[in-house]
Amino acid sequence: MNYKLLGVCGLYCGACNHYQASLPQNAHLLQELLQKDKTVEEPTCQGCRSDRLYSHCSECKIRECTEDKGADHCGDCTEAPCEMLRNFQSDGRAHHLDVMQNLAELKEQGCEEWLKKQELKWKCQCGASHSWYEAECHLCGSPFDFYYK
């Protein structure tokens, strides 16, 4: 279990394109990312709780807020769901829609159990991990039940 992949906002960083593209077995995602975002030289994100973050995540106000409050994640905050978190959930990015549900599950299951379930959720039957927006496995071609269109 990689605790660094537990996003403070309720996202599972292990399914992020930037994290997945940094893994050697996902060269296909790295190429896609480099074509889409010309400012990215090399994705190096290792998750929300690491010291190697994608530039957008390193400037995250939600992450800063949880650090200031000493909360493990937003689900542990007495002010949640706050306006900042609600705005994040409704900012138009499909993978952000699940943050409130994820935070409720985190609170109910605990971090370790939630991370185990997320790792399985974002893994193909062949064992390859995948990102939020991949519809099928790049190794075996199996369609994914969980992905964002």
pLDDT, one tens digit per residue, over 114-147 is 999 999 999 999 999 999 999 999 999 999 988 8
The answer to which of 6-10, 14-18, 108-112 has the lowest mean pLDDT is: 14-18
Answer whether residue 57 shows pLDDT above 90: no
Beta bridge partners of 136: 143
Q: CB of 14 within 8 A of CB of 129?
A: yes
In a domain, 135, yes or no: no
Domain extent for 111: 3-121
Please tell me the predicted confidence (pLDDT) of residue 135: 94
Band the pLDDT of 64: cuts 50, 70, 90: very high
User: Count of domains in the chain?
Assistant: 1
In a domain, 148, yes or no: no
pLDDT, one tens digit per residue, over 68-123 is 999 999 999 999 999 999 999 999 999 999 999 999 999 999 999 999 999 999 99
In a domain, 136, yes or no: no
In a domain, 22, yes or no: yes
Answer whether residue 40 shows pLDDT above 70: no
In a domain, 131, yes or no: no
Listed residue (113, 107, 57) closest to 81, CA to CA: 107
End-to-end CA distance of the chain: 27
Please tell me the predicted confidence (pLDDT) of residue 131: 93
In a domain, 133, yes or no: no
* Mean pLDDT across 32-41: 74
Q: What is the model's pTM?
A: 0.90
Mean of all residue pLDDT scores within the chain: 90
* Mean pLDDT across 53-61: 86
In a domain, 128, yes or no: no
The values of phi and psi at residue 97, to 5°, are -60, -25
